Amino acid sequence: MKTILLVSIILIVCLLMGMVIFLTTPRLCYWNKFQLADRVIQKIETYKITYNRLPSSLEEIGERVSEAGPIFYKKINNTEYEIWFGTTLGESMTYNSETQKWE
C-alpha cells in the first residue's frame, strides 16, 4: 500500500514538473511555429546565397503572405532581417539574422 502511494506521488510530481518545463520553454510551446519559421529562415538564407541579396518579401521565396501571419518577415538592411511570430497577446518570438538568435 505504501509503495503504491509513493509511486503515485512520484508520478504526480514528475507530471507537474514536466508541465512546468513544457509551459516555460517557448521552443516547446510553439513548436509548430518554430518549425515553420526555421523553414522560412532556410529559404531566405538559400535565396541570399543564390541571388546575393535578401528577398524583399516572403513572396519572393514562395511563401504566402498574410496580415494574419503566422510568420512575419522584415528586411532591416541589405544583410540583416528579422522573422517573428506571435505567442500571446502583444508578445512575440523574434529571430535576428545578425545574432542568429531567438529572443
Q: CA gyration radius for the chain?
A: 20
What local confidence, expressed as pLDDT, does residue 71 receive?
94
Is pTM beyond 0.95 here? no
What local confidence, expressed as pLDDT, does residue 42 receive?
97
Q: Which residues of the chain have pLDDT under 50?
A: none
Domain residue ranges in the chain:
29-102
What local confidence, expressed as pLDDT, does residue 31 receive?
84
State whether residue 55 is helix, strand or coil.
coil
Residue 70 carries which DSSP code? Answer: S
State whether residue 87 is helix, strand or coil.
coil
Question: Is residue 59 within 8 Å of 72, Cβ to Cβ?
Answer: no
CA distance 64 to 7: 50
